[in-house]
Structure 1
Amino acid sequence: MSTPSRTGALAGSTLLLLTALYFAQGLPYGFFSQAVPVILREEGYSLTQISVYGLLFAPWGLKFLWAPYVDRYATRRRWLLATQLTSAAVALVLACLDLSGTLVWMLIGIAVINLASATQDIATDGLAVATLGPRQRGPGNGIQVGAYRIGMIVGGGGLLWLFSIAGWRTLFVAMSVMLFAVTVPVWFLVGRSRLGRDADAVARERRPSPALLVTGWLQRLRRPGVIVFIVVVGAYKFGNSMGSALVGPFMSDIGLSLGQIALIEGALSSAGALAGAALGGWLAFRFGRRSALLFGGVTQTLSLAFYLVAALGAGGFWIVVTASLAEHVLGGAATVAVFTLMMDACEKGHEGSDYTLYACAVVGVQGAAGFSAGIIGDLFGFPTLFGTSLILSGIGVVMMIAALDRGMGPAPVRALARTGSRPAG
């Protein structure tokens, strides 16, 4: 991969590598977070029970605990190869098991793959932050969010459709084959990346003792402005995460078939995810962080209104399609904007640890939002759920813009605020 350019252009090898890495994360996560809840709902589980199933995603919220080890031990290439091959191997093992009588082994497999994928994410984010210059982070996060969401769509919609016609065995074989395939760019490209090697060399030179690594994440958390930054990012994401957490069960409850859900969450939303990622990357690159966050946040909030209309019984099938497309396009743009800001907030030499800390906060917020969605949905119904999420999303946008305008957050973010949230060169 090449040195970051002042124009913000990304080399072809960088595009390929980031696409492969983030697709590899999104594929199993999409199946486990989107398709499995639909399957559980079909089996008669309550919304609260489905939300508790989200505890299996704990590694995504706790990975900051071992992020300093990934930053400081071995190389990113080794971490990436080991974790992706582990996920592919576990999926292949699940394909060899009989899952028709019990879901216990699948749940164990989900836990192991989540642990491997979460660790892969630490190395991937560290590599991305070290490789991308400030002007490249908007387009780079567009690639990140686009590839990740496409992976989620293939996993959530495509694999759900495959399960509906062929069952568990074929589903996990397909997942394993795709995970093995996207490991190939890691093998060839990361080892040839000068920036990747340089970042690993810096990590080895600054390697602390194991005792210090145990509290390394706490030292990153105690930097000036970090806690308020995490609170603001969490508020920005909470409302939308609550609204989108139970979209699959909502579609099932209003009578859509597995095939229809797979179509909406798969093929139709793929174009929306790509458009949203491209829109968010372009906004962050062209107009700066603040404008991208404002536009993405406001439109993401308004997109929840479509789900509210559908929950009230109006519009039929096509309002659900519209709601899903709006969520992927506008939610994708907002996600790119906030992830770009999170990259800006990372300190050189601690890219993986810092970004992981922020990402874990987002995952924790999404988990709390999903659990809240389950309780509100069970007690008051989907209209109340979507209405509440719309209001909270709007409040989060106001908090984010106010924080940027007042110069809150880590030093790099405050510096961006002084320049209108547009990085130089």
Structure 2
Amino acid sequence: MNLPIKILNFKAQIAFLIISLNMAQYISVGFFSESLAAILRQDGLSLEKIGAVYFIGLFYGFRFLWAPFVEFAVAKMGGVYKNFIVVILTLMIISLGITSFLNVRENLGFILIMAGLLGFLSATSAIASSALIIKISTPQNLAGANSLGASGNFIGHVLGTGVTLIIYANFGWIASTLFLVFLTLIALFMIITFKELPRELEKSQNHVNFKNMAMFFKDKKFWLSVLMLQGVGVCMSFGLINPILVDSGRGLDEVGKIVHIYGLCGVLLGSVIASYLINKFGSIKTIILVTLIQAAGILTLLLPILGYTNFIVLVLVCQICFAVYTVGAVSVSTMIMRKATKHPVSECALQSSISMLFQYISFALGFVIASFVGYKATVVFSSIICIGVFFYILKFKKFI
């Protein structure tokens, strides 16, 4: 039974296209942040230094700066996003190929530079892909599109972070990075074979214009605050999953299996639940509800911290954390796209950038706080933040 596809209301080709594009966007950033964090932790690097690795993802937090240039380039291509995405994915494949020849310990500095380049390319691909999703979706199935996108992101997480980590542990750096090349080639094939109809764009999109972005939040100040705050609590704890399991004595291959493979079930469940909740209650009510769910969900991380490291317990904890994060990500992403009405490329990039910027800061902040007060206090503090955000959004929801 094709239940997820039926619920999300998309043809199979478009569904797989959305999943593959979002998968390709995440695999490189996921591997060079989370997997590399686990590798460096096993080598004895401090939590403060490992936290800096997450700043690779800050390109997602600043992508609004070059979104108008993407909008301009697509306009010159007749409103066709496909050709632009093909170029970016090709550059990602070349960059990964170069990185495969490096040594993770001897060339760490250069690897981080290449990871930064891949972060930039990934964020640029996300700018165009988000606009393409808006273009091929209707208001009725936009939540379904974002659920598919979230599933793609976390499939990329599983493959690019979990499976690749296992490959690294058993076969080394070259094999793991070439596997990333293969995954990106899948997305390249899907977009090449997709037939996208050209669209007439507004004249304002034929030149680089930052004024539209500057005015976007003029009457959306409370929505801006939601973008900043919604993911802070859950991300502070979510980023600690890998080092918590490493410090509990699990090997890299076990971490890859537990966190980034079996956790996929939680992601798929979270995507379907998000689509259902948004269609039933709307994006805002879902975002409010999710903050409470996240406050409870991340507390399950206390189990491995307190010594409950049974395999089944660890799998369930990871699935719960992935599920509650996914529901929040899908609800926010859907709201972002619904508000991007005039200039979808720039407006999506601006909103997503702010949301991702604060998420990646929260990832790094979680490492810093944990290095001072420990994992347990950090997780409890994160849950309290989620509860605080719940009351804040509940109070000001009519202004969002």
TM-score by length of 2: 0.92
Q: Which amino acid aligns with 2:157?
A: M
Call closer, same or farther: CA 1:32–1:98 in 2, change over 3 Å: closer
Q: Which amino acid aligns with 2:352?
A: A
Question: How much has 1:251 moved relative to structure 2?
Answer: 1.1
From 155, 167, 174, give the equivalent of 1:169.
174
SS for the counterpart of 1:133 is coil
SS for the counterpart of 1:347 is coil
From 373, 376, 380, give the equivalent of 1:383.
376
TM-score by length of 1: 0.87
Q: Is the 8 A contact 1:146 1:278 kept in 2?
A: no
Name the Cα RMSD after superposition. Answer: 1.9
Matched, 1:217 2:210: no
Matches within 5 A, 1:232-311: 232-311=226-305
List 4+ stretches of structure 1 deviating above 4 A: 314-317
Q: Is the 8 A contact 2:291 2:328 kept in 1?
A: yes
Q: Distance in 2 between matches of 1:358 and 1:334?
A: 15
Q: Is the 8 A contact 1:8 1:133 kept in 2?
A: no
Matches within 5 A, 1:37-186: 37-74=37-74, 75=77, 76-186=81-191
Call closer, same or farther: CA 1:9–1:56 in 2, change over 3 Å: closer
Q: Distance in 2 between matches of 1:325 and 1:99?
A: 30
Partner of 1:347: 341
Cα distance per residue 1:12-42 (max 9 Å; x no partner): 3321221111111121122122211101111
Percentage of identical aligned residues: 19
Q: Distance in 2 between matches of 1:136 and 1:79?
A: 25
| Structure 1 unaligned regions, length at least 5 | 1-6, 410-425
Q: Distance in 1 between matches of 2:323 and 2:8?
A: 23
Cα distance per residue 1:73-130 (max 9 Å; x no partner): 2342222011111111111111233445231221121011111110000000111123
Q: Is the 8 A contact 1:64 1:353 kept in 2?
A: yes
Q: Distance in 2 between matches of 1:132 and 1:216?
A: 23
Call closer, same or farther: CA 1:249–1:321 in 2, change over 3 Å: same
Partner of 1:202: 201
Q: Is the 8 A contact 2:72 2:205 kept in 1?
A: yes
SS for the counterpart of 1:21 is helix
Q: Distance in 2 between matches of 1:234 and 1:171?
A: 34
Q: Distance in 2 between matches of 1:318 and 1:13?
A: 35
Call closer, same or farther: CA 1:110–1:8 in 2, change over 3 Å: closer
Q: Which amino acid aligns with 1:170?
A: A
Q: Distance in 2 between matches of 1:122 and 1:61?
A: 12
Q: Distance in 2 between matches of 1:8 and 1:48?
A: 41
How many residue pairs end up in the alignment? 389
SS for the counterpart of 2:140 is helix
Question: How much has 1:187 moved relative to structure 2?
Answer: 1.2
Matched, 1:403 2:399: no
